Structure formats: structure tokens, C-alpha cells
């Protein structure tokens, strides 16, 4: 039975993933910033899946608290076999491009907090020589677009970090998977461009979970974003910097 920590568990994709893991018999610890909301999510998952899902809070930017948090999760679950990193925020991109404090807040919520928590989880999983880490990133990290380069830079750096982590843990029996997510139909993306390419959270979770079961290493969700971003990467910088998308 897998003992799985889901970080950012109140997001629609995380909720759907929790149900997928629970259906396969996993014991879950669901964590987010909002204590009341994550408790409601845990109760809902438990009722739907017929399991007990534990709930707790964490702060991605409170780096000093992360070691104790990971230890507590492992203690309450009776061990730790997997971590799913679902948290992040688009932030206020316009403000982040002119205000260093907002820029750093976006970076901390999307990159440094995840790096801190995954480093601690990886240490635990490497010692037991088994387990998995799933990091949900974004296709926004493929190139630095003028409209969202602060957010995109965090996701791009996250992908590089996870790639290196995958290499480091390759001989330890720990599966590390990068998810490059396209536009998902959630509150965070409401009203933004690319609406025709959106995917429902439940469908995204199905694709992510199927890729995890196949022990995929890098997966684009949905698949066609691999083709789209492949084409985007081929655009010369002299042209790309003038494009408005």
C-alpha cells in the first residue's frame, strides 16, 4: 500500500489525483495552506473512496518548517512512499515584472518551495531505495514569453531541477516524473488566452495517473502540447521576442 503526500491538495487536479490514488488503495496525506478547505477535501476524498485521508497544512515559503513537516507526514502515514507536487500560482504577472517582491513571491510559490520540499522527500525516499516523486509543472516553462516570463521562468527552472533529481535518483529505485501541463479549466486560468486548448482537471488527472502507472519520466498533458512546444522552441529569438502571444 502506497503512502502518498499530495502538496497543494485543494487544487482541482490534486483532488482528482487523490481519488485515483485512493482507488488503488493508497493511504493519503493531503496538504495545503488553507486548513479548513484541505480538511473538507480530505473528508470528501475519504467518503468517495471509502478510505481515511489525513489532512494538514504547509507553507511553501516557510522553508524552515519543511523538514519538520515531512517528518510529521511520514510519522502520521506510517512511512512515505510518494510525493505529488501540485501547488503553484500564476501570481500577478504585471506586478511581478516591475516589483521585485511580487517577482520573488511568484518564484517562491512555484519553484523554491517545491525545491525545498522535494529535496527533503528525495532524501527520505533515497534512503529507503523506493518510492516516487511527481512534479506538476507547466508548458509555460519551455520559453520565456514576454507575457508571463516570471511565472514561466519558475516552471522552467523547476523542470530542470526535477530532471537533475531524476538522474540522481536513477539508481535508487525512485521514480521521478515531470508533468508539463497545458491550460487546465480552473479558477486560476479563467479568462486567459488559450481557452480552446483547455482540458478538464479530471481528464488531466487521468492522463497524469496513467503516465505514473507506466513509469513515464516526462509527460505533456495533453499530449499535443509536446508538438506545440516543439514548434515554439524552433522559432528564432529574433522573431520570438516580437511575438505577442
For 231-244, write each residue's pLDDT tens digit.
999 999 889 888 87
Domain-located, residue 58: yes
pLDDT > 90 in the chain, percent: 82
Residues 6+ apart with CB under 8 A from 242: none
Give the angle subtended at the CA of 197 by the CAs of 181 and 145, to the nearest 5°: 65
> Looking at the annotation, which residues are catalytic?
151
**Cα distance between residue 97 and residue 152, in whole Å:** 12
Q: Please check whether residue 12 lies inside any domain of the structure.
A: yes
What is the residue-averaged pLDDT of the chain? 92
Write down the pLDDT at residue 191. Answer: 46
CA distances from 120 to 65, 107, 114, 167, 212 (A): 11, 19, 10, 16, 21
Could you tell me if residue 75 is inside a domain?
Answer: yes
d(CA 85, CA 80): 14
- Indicate which CATH number applies to the domain containing 219: 3.40.50.720
* Residue 131 located in a structural domain: yes
- Are the C-beta atoms of residues 59 and 38 closer than 8 Å to each other? no
Q: Assess if residue 245 is contained within a domain.
A: no
d(CA 156, CA 241): 17
Q: Is the dihedral of CA 62, 156, 188, 185 positive or negative?
A: negative
pLDDT in the model for residue 133: 98
Region of poorest pLDDT, from 87-96, 121-130, 152-161: 87-96
- C-alpha radius of gyration, the chain, whole number: 18
**Residue 198 counted as domain residue:** yes
pLDDT above 70: residue 60? yes
Query: What integer pLDDT is reported at residue 91 of this predicted model?
Result: 84
Domain containing 88 equals 3-240
Number of domains composing the chain:
1
> How far apart (Å, rounded) are the C-alpha atoms in residues 208 and 6?
14
Q: Average the pLDDT over 29-57 and give the result.
A: 95
Q: Is residue 28 part of a domain?
A: yes
Question: Is residue 211 one of the residues assigned to a domain?
Answer: yes
Amino acid at each position: 500500500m502506497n503512502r502518498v503526500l499530495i502538496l497543494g491538495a485543494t487544487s482541482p487536479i490534486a483532488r482528482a489525483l487523490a481519488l485515483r490514488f485512493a482507488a488503488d488503495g493508497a493511504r493519503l496525506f493531503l496538504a495545503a495552506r488553507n486548513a479548513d478547505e484541505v480538511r473538507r477535501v480530505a473528508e470528501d476524498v475519504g467518503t468517495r473512496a471509502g478510505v481515511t485521508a489525513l489532512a494538514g497544512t504547509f507553507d511553501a515559503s516557510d522553508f524552515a518548517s519543511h523538514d519538520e513537516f515531512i517528518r510529521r507526514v511520514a510519522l502520521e502515514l506510517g512511512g512515505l512512499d510518494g510525493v505529488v507536487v501540485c501547488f503553484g500560482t500564476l501570481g500577478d504577472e504585471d506586478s511581478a515584472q516591475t516589483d521585485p517582491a511580487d517577482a520573488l513571491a511568484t518564484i517562491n510559490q512555484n519553484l523554491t518551495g517545491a525545491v525545498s520540499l522535494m529535496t527533503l522527500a528525495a532524501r527520505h525516499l533515497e534512503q529507503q531505495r523506493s518510492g516516487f516523486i511527481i512534479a506538476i509543472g507547466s508548458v509555460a516553462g519551455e520559453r520565456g514569453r514576454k507575457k508571463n516570463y516570471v511565472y514561466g521562468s519558475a516552471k522552467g527552472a523547476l523542470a530542470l531541477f526535477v530532471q537533475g533529481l531524476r538522474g540522481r535518483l536513477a539508481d535508487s529505485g525512485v521514480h521521478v516524473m515531470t508533468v508539463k501541463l497545458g491550460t487546465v479549466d480552473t479558477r486560476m486560468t479563467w479568462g486567459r488566452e488559450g481557452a480552446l486548448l483547455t482540458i478538464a482537471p479530471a481528464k488531466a488527472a487521468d492522463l497524469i495517473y496513467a503516465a505514473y502507472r507506466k513509469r513515464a519520466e516526462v509527460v505533456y498533458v495533453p499530449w499535443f502540447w509536446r508538438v506545440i512546444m516543439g514548434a515554439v522552441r524552433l522559432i528564432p529569438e529574433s522573431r520570438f521576442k516580437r511575438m505577442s502571444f
